[in-house]
Structure 1
Amino acid sequence: MTNTDAGGGDRLALAVLTQYRMGTTQQLHRVLAPRVRIEQTRRRLAKLRAEGLVDRVTLPQAGRLRAWFPTAYGV
Structure 2
Amino acid sequence: MDPSFAARRIEQTRRRLAMLRAKGLADLITLPQTGRTRAWFPTAYGVQLASEWPELREHRPSRTVSDPTAVRLKAGHTLTVTETA
* TM-score, scaled to structure 2: 0.46
Is residue 67 of structure 1 aligned with residue 39 of structure 2?
yes
More strand by share: 1
Shift of 1:72: 0.4
Q: Percent identity?
A: 78
Structure 1: runs of 5+ lacking an equivalent: 1-33
Q: Distance in 2 between matches of 1:71 and 1:37?
A: 24
Q: Secondary structure at the match of 2:33?
A: coil
Q: CA RMSD in A?
A: 1.8
Is residue 44 of structure 1 aligned with residue 16 of structure 2?
yes
Q: Secondary structure at the match of 1:64?
A: coil
Letter of the 2:43 counterpart: T
Q: Secondary structure at the match of 1:73?
A: helix
Q: Distance in 2 between matches of 1:57 and 1:40?
A: 19
Shift of 1:63: 1.0
Whose radius of gyration is greater, 1 or 2?
A: 2
Structure 2: runs of 5+ lacking an equivalent: 1-5, 48-85
Query: Which gives a bigger RCO, structure 1 or 2 (Cα 8 Å, sep 6+)?
Result: 1
Moved over 3 A (4+): none
Letter of the 2:45 counterpart: Y
* Alignment size in residue pairs: 42
* TM-score, scaled to structure 1: 0.52
